[in-house]
Structure formats: C-alpha cells, structure tokens
Amino acid sequence: MADYKNLQKPLWRLTARERRFIILIGDVFVSVIALFVALYFWAQKDQWLHFSWQFLQERPPDWYFFLPLFWIVLLAELYDIRRASRPRDVIQGIFFALLISGGLYLLLFFISSPNPLPRRGVAGFLVAAAILTLLWRMIYIKVFTAPVFLRRVLIVGAGRAGTSLSGIIKGIWPPPYYLVGLVDDDPRKIGKKVNDLPVFGGSGQLLEIIKKEAISDLIFAISGEMKPEMSKAILAAEENGVVVTTMPVVYEELMGRVPIQLLQDDWILRSFLDESHSSGSYEIIKRLIDIFCSVIGLIITVVFFPLISLMILINSGFPVLFIQERLGKSGKPFLLYKFRTMMRDAEKDGIARLAVENDERVTRVGRFLRKSRLDELPQFFNVLRGDVSMVGPRAERPELVDKMQKKIPFYRARLFVKPGVTGWAQVNYRYASNLEETAVKLEYDLYYIKHRNILLDSIIIIRTIGTVLRYIGQ
C-alpha cells in the first residue's frame, strides 16, 4: 500500500479560524499605528510640547489609548470570513464604523462640559484608522484569497446533501475552498459530474484520490446509511492528517445559518439541545445589558413619544400604540408594544398574515417609522419586563407559530430562547413573505441559538445601529 504518512496539511492552506486570527492581528497592528499617527499630528499643534513623553503625560486622557480597542469592536461584523473577502462589504463596514464612531463622539462632545474632549486627537485617529484598515483589508483580500492559500476539499457523498453543499460552495465568490470533487460508494454516481465536479470513486479509492489530488480536507455529507468501508477510509485519512468536517458545520460556517432541509428528523435531540445551552454567566451579563439598554431606550421613547404620536394621529388617527399577543421563551404568551405602522383593522377577516416588503397595509408615517426602526421604541418596555431581550429571534404570533411548525422543520425550536428587539435573522435577511423565506429566517435563528454569546450579540447590535443610520429598516 502507498505511504500516506506525509499527507499532513500544508501550512499555507488556512482554516477559517486562522484567517480570522490573521485579520485580527492586522487590525490591531494598523489601529495601533493609527493611534501613533494621530498623536504625532496632534502634537504638532502644540509645538511647545512636541511629540515627547511630556506630551503623552499631559495631553491625551487615559481613555484615549483604548481607541484601537473601540475601533476593532466596531469592525466586529467584518470578522465574518465571507464579508472579509469581499471589497464592497469591507468598504461599507469601515465606512459605517467611521460613521458610528464619529457620531458617538460628536454626541459626547456636545453634551459634555466645555473642552474636555480632544477633537484633533480623536478625529486624527478615526481618519488614520479608517485609511490604514482599508489598505490592510485590501492587501488581505489580494493575498490571502489567492489559490495558494485555499484548502483543497473533497466532499464525501454525492447525494442531496453533497449536491446542495457543492452548489453553495461554487456559488460563493471569492471561493472559500478549492473544491476538487466528490466521492460516493454508489456505482451509479461514480464517473458522473455533480455541479460540474467529478465523482472520482468510492471508499476503496479514497486514500489514492487524497494523495493524487493533494486533498487537505474532507467534508462528510452522507445523511443516510454509510458502508463500513467508507467509515474506515475516512478514519484512515483523518489519522494521516486530512481534516474531516461534517456538512452542517461547513454550511453554518459559510452561510451563517443551519441547513434545516438537509438534517435528519432527530437532529434536535441528537445535536441541537446540547449545543443550544448557554452558560449562567452569559445569561446574567445578557440580562444586565438588556436592563441598561431598556432604560436608555425608554428615555429616548419618552422624548420622541409626543412627536411620533402626533404624526400617527394626523396620518391615520387612533390608536397610537400597537399591542398584540406574541409567544416568548418556551411558548409563554405576552403582550408586545410597538408604535402602530399599519392602517386600522389591517386584518379585518381575523386571519393572521406575514408582513411583507412594501406591504400595502403600512401607512405613510408607518413606512418612515419602520425604515428608521422608531416603531420598535415601545418594545423597550417589554425588554425591561423581561418578555423580550435586545437580541433574539423575532417574537411571533401564536397562530403563525402553530401554522409554521406544521410546514417547516424544527420551527418551534426558536422558542428555546427569549425573542429579541433585533436578531441574527433580522440583520441578515429581508422580510419573509412566504414559507421558503420563513424557512431561511429560521435557519438564521437556529444558528443564533446554537452560537449565541456576548460577541455575537454585540455584532448584531452594531449592525442594527448601522441599519438605523442607513435608514434601511423594514
């Protein structure tokens, strides 16, 4: 038998985790450089101090040296490998990081006492950080998405799961992998093509194919029964340095959602329940963040309530608030509060309907409130009460949940956590106006439930702020 002991992964074929680490190191490096660039130009204004230890001791406040950390937090969504590989997404992300940071600084500047904040130093840092980060990210895209850094992948299984996954991978640009082909023990599939990719052979040829094609990774995409020979061949490949990953893991990494249509009926019991549990510390921190945000949100609500109420009254009359029963965690019903954006008696026949994009039931003022997300302000009362969290799946009506769970796999699993004012599905997908789109949003919701943590919550909140500033809410 041929020697497969030298099939170790070449160091230049980077995993998603390695790519994120490289991006983070680069961002830290350029943001620290931006800090020194800003300090240098700031010091030029005060020639009597020059750029010296004396200047560093006397002028910049202590919080100034944490600006690089703040900048990296604002770039959180650009640590998604898909976005980090697309120039348009990078430019957009950096622009809105600059917009959000500049807006927050101006707000603090005007509400604080006279001259406590260094305008020249902060402006210099933000401009330098934006320019240097953009240059670094363009270098990353040019260099690290080159074929030499792509992992050579073979999909095990040419059935429904393997076919779907290969089509998804081929549809992503820049490509996340160099997809070589597939293997399958079904003799009817061997020698044919799936999405223009060859099906090389079966388990008996797997190790030979790995060596010949210099494969670094196998993606296991067999959802039904598997021959013992294939299992042994995969284990032998793994023992010799080939990285073996399952289809759901790769799908989640590439798409940011769970492939509900490709999973077995017992997936909830076999996998999801264990992975969906969160730590007690996370729940405590999340609740504290909810309380803090709800207090701030309610103050804003009180300020804007008279104006928004007047706008609604002039446009469509009473009532100003929209109060509706929704389902919370574990299916517990509660009353959700929002500003009314639809015409009165929008469902005269009593049939619950999904809201759709450009919904004819939405009033002129309601359209403005939705795009600016101002209609969500009364929900902060629900957040303070604990009915709703800042981040989570969208709170849905009982009758719609009953309807959807009969037609979409695993739909009720979204009730494992509190609903949210915003969420992973809301920032990644448009309104769901049919069953297919509702299923996609569920995939995002289940991904959030599996992977939720403070960092992911922060990314969602930051992206929601960007949505508000861009006036593209729905």
3-state secondary structure 103-152: HHHHHHHHHCCCCCCCHHHHHHHHHHHHHHHHHHHHHHHHHHCCHHHCCE
Return the pLDDT at 1. 38
Q: What was the pLDDT predicted at 51?
A: 55
Q: State which amino acid sits at residue 316.
A: S
Summarised one tens digit per residue, pLDDT across range 358-385 is: 667 788 888 888 888 889 999 999 999 9
pLDDT for residue 45 is more than 70: no
Predicted confidence band at 473 (pLDDT cuts at 50, 70, 90)?
Answer: low
Beta bridge partners of 183: 156
How far apart CA 212 and CA 229 sit, in angstroms, is 20
Domains of the chain and CATH, by start: 16-144 (no CATH), 150-255 (3.40.50.720), 280-345+352-470 (no CATH)
When pLDDT is averaged across residues 412-441 and rounded to a whole number, the result is: 91
Is residue 172 within 8 Å of residue 82, measured between CB atoms?
A: yes
Higher pLDDT: 391 or 150? It is: 391
**Higher pLDDT, residue 227 or 43:** 227
Give the chain's mean pLDDT: 86
pLDDT tens for residues 80-90? 888 898 899 99
Question: In this predicted structure, which of 202-211, 310-319, 459-468 has the lowest mean pLDDT?
Answer: 459-468
Q: Check pLDDT > 80 for residue 152.
A: yes
Least confident of 184-193, 262-271, 412-421: 262-271
Report CA 202 to chain centroid distance, whole Å. Answer: 37
Percentage of residues in the chain with pLDDT exceeding 90? 52
- Look at residue 252 and tell me whether its pLDDT is greater than 60: yes
Q: For the full predicted model, state whether its pTM sits above 0.85.
A: no
User: Could you report how far apart the first and last alpha carbons of the chain are, in Å?
Assistant: 61
Give the per-residue pLDDT at 408: 93
Q: What is the pLDDT of residue 191?
A: 92
Closest CA to 361 of 344, 339, 336: 344
Q: Report the interhelical angle of 247-255 vs 160-170 (nearest 10°).
A: 30
Distance, in Å, from the CA atom of 322 to the CA atom of 362, rounded to the nearest integer, reads 13
DSSP structure class, residue 421: E
pLDDT digits (tens, 9 = 90+) for 443-464: 999 999 999 999 899 889 888 8
pLDDT digits (tens, 9 = 90+) for 92-127: 899 988 988 888 887 777 766 655 667 778 889 999
